[in-house]
Structures are given as C-alpha cells and as structure tokens.
Amino acid sequence: KMPRHAKKLRDHDINPCLAETDATTKCMDDNNYKKDMCTDYFLKYKNCRKFWHGIMMQRKRSGVKPEMPSAEEREKILESMG
C-alpha cells in the first residue's frame, strides 16, 4: 500500500506536473542518474510547478476553492491560453 503522501503525488487532480515528474524520473533512470543529461526535463518540471503555483496563489487570493484546479479544469485553462 502506498503512503498517503505518495498517493497524493500520483493523483492527477492534485499534481499538475505528473507527466513532467514521470518524464524526469525516466530520463534519470535511462541515463544512470546523470542530472546534466536531463536538464530539459528538470526545466520543464520547474516551469510547470512555477506556472501552477502562480495559478494557485491567484485562486487563493480570489477565494476560489479548490486552490489547485482539477485536471479537467487545468486542461481548459491551458487551452484558453493556446
């Protein structure tokens, strides 16, 4: 059984950067944990986190719940941005 924290990180509604997380992990596995081989993946992950953190802060200030939009809602947000 997965610990609660790990389960939350695997939940697409809670973790908006699941794909980036998995891609980074796979790159590290494939490249014998040489971080410099996966710079692009780390950057994409960092940008993803930064972007959704900004959205969360905005929603928090506006009193919107939940602070992290659901996976479905995030898709709509991204589409509206092109």
What's the pLDDT tens digit per position in 39-59? 999 999 999 999 999 999 999
Q: Which residue has the tokens 């809602």?
A: 73
Q: What is the pLDDT of residue 18?
A: 94
**In degrees, to the nearest 5, what angle opens at C-alpha 56 toward C-alphas 54 and 58?**
70
- Residue 10's pLDDT band, with cuts at 50, 70 and 90, is confident
What residue ranges do the domains of the chain occupy? 14-80
DSSP symbols for the chain: ---HHHHHHH-TTT-TTHHHHHHHHHHHHHTTT-GGGGHHHHHHHHHHHHHHHHHHHHHHHHT-SSSSPPHHHHHHHHHHH-
What's the pLDDT tens digit per position in 11-28? 888 889 999 999 999 999
Q: What is the pLDDT of residue 2?
A: 65
